[in-house]
């Protein structure tokens, strides 16, 4: 019997500004896992049976681009799972696919549908390879080759999003006007560029960051003793009522009811490698 196994891999130094990490998961167990919007797009390679997303009513493809989402979902696996996942920084997917990240908003898109020949060839190499360490090397080579062809104009626009995005991660209650001023763009221009790189509007993205911050505090609540009023303040909500209302909107549960159902985990504010 194959035990459930997770392996995390750190990207090479050149790719660290663009890639958060890679992870590999193997399981022969039937899984029904509750997941939250994590704030980072992903490319997923399924070497066995893909995952079912009941909220969307679809199975992921063997090569799937998972965009930014604003809802939580139940992920189902039938007991034959082996997947390799590339977790991008919040605003970097567009640089490697040359497609606005907003194109994948709230979607699980087949990588075979975007007509990226090199990505499809990469997928075939991974599906034919039994050594997942070697698969990670294949992925890194592909990412590095894509990075080497980044257009100067695109890279410049990407850099303008860095400071506003860092500010959101630090203080998600920041206003869009303040963020656009940081980027030296009008609000309309900033919102357009933000959607291109991040995959959703800046105001909506602050909601996801607030949720992930709250999940991080809930994840460590037993060790810190922080209460819900303190979590609301520290996560950037106006007050505890705002915290509970927005949390339930994105999770379907209040913070207390979620704690009764599962152990919260923040993908965005946890660094496994």
What CA–CA distance (Å, rounded) separates 131 from 84?
Answer: 11
- Given this model, what pLDDT does residue 157 score? 86
Domain range list for the chain: 5-147, 151-273
Tell me the CATH number for domain 5-147. Answer: 2.60.120
Q: Beta partners for 81?
A: 27
- Given this model, what pLDDT does residue 155 score? 79
Establish whether domains 5-147 and 151-273 are of one fold.
no
* Strands lying side by side in the sheet with 73-78: 30-35, 73-78, 52-53, 58-59
Q: How many residues does the chain have?
A: 273
> What's the pTM?
0.95
What CA–CA distance (Å, rounded) separates 191 from 178?
Answer: 12
Please give the mean pLDDT across all residues of the chain.
94
* pLDDT tens per residue across span 95-129: 999 999 999 999 999 999 998 999 999 999 999 99
- Given this model, what pLDDT does residue 3 score? 60
- Report the helix count and the strand count for the chain, using DSSP H and E: 11, 10
Please name the fold of domain 151-273.
Arc Repressor Mutant, subunit A (1.10.10)
What is the Cβ-side half-sphere exposure of residue 167, based on CA atoms within 13 angstroms?
Answer: 18
pLDDT at position 193 over 80: yes
3-class SS of residue 174:
coil
* pLDDT tens per residue across span 76-101: 999 899 999 999 999 999 999 999 99
Nearest CA to 22 out of 3, 45, 38, 4 is that of 45
Q: Which helix (DSSP H) or strand (DSSP E) does residue 58 occupy?
A: strand 58-59
Helices in the chain by DSSP H: which ranges? 93-97, 117-127, 132-147, 152-170, 176-182, 187-198, 202-219, 221-224, 228-235, 240-251, 255-261
* pLDDT tens per residue across span 210-268: 999 999 999 999 899 999 999 999 999 999 999 999 999 999 899 999 999 888 999 99
């Amino acid at each position: 019997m194959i035990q459930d196994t997770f392996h995390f891999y750190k990207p090479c130094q050149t790719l660290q500004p663009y890639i958060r990490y890679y992870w590999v998961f193997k399981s022969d167990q039937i899984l029904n896992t509750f997941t939250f919007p994590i704030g980072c797009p992903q490319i997923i390679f399924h070497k066995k049976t893909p995952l079912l997303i009941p909220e969307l009513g679809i199975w992921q493809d063997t090569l799937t681009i998972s965009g930014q989402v604003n809802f939580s979902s139940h992920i189902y696996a039938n007991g034959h799972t082996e997947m390799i996942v590339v977790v991008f920084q919040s605003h970097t997917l567009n640089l490697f696919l040359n497609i606005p990240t907003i194109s994948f908003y709230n979607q699980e898109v087949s990588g075979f549908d975007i007509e990226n020949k090199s990505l499809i060839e990469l997928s075939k190499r991974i599906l034919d390879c039994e050594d997942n360490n070697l698969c990670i090397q294949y992925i890194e080579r592909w990412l590095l080759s894509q990075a080497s062809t980044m257009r100067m104009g695109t890279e410049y626009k990407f850099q303008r999003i860095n400071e506003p995005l860092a500010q959101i991660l630090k203080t998600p209650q920041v206003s869009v006007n303040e963020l656009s001023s940081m980027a030296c763009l009008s609000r309309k221009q900033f919102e357009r560029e933000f959607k291109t790189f991040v995959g959703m509007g800046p105001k909506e993205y602050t909601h996801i960051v607030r949720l992930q911050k709250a999940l991080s505090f809930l994840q460590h609540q037993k060790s810190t003793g922080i209460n819900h009023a303190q979590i609301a303040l520290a996560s950037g909500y106006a007050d505890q009522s705002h915290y509970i209302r927005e949390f339930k909107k994105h999770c379907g549960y209040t913070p207390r009811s979620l704690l009764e159902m599962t152990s919260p985990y923040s993908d965005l504010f946890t660094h496994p490698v």
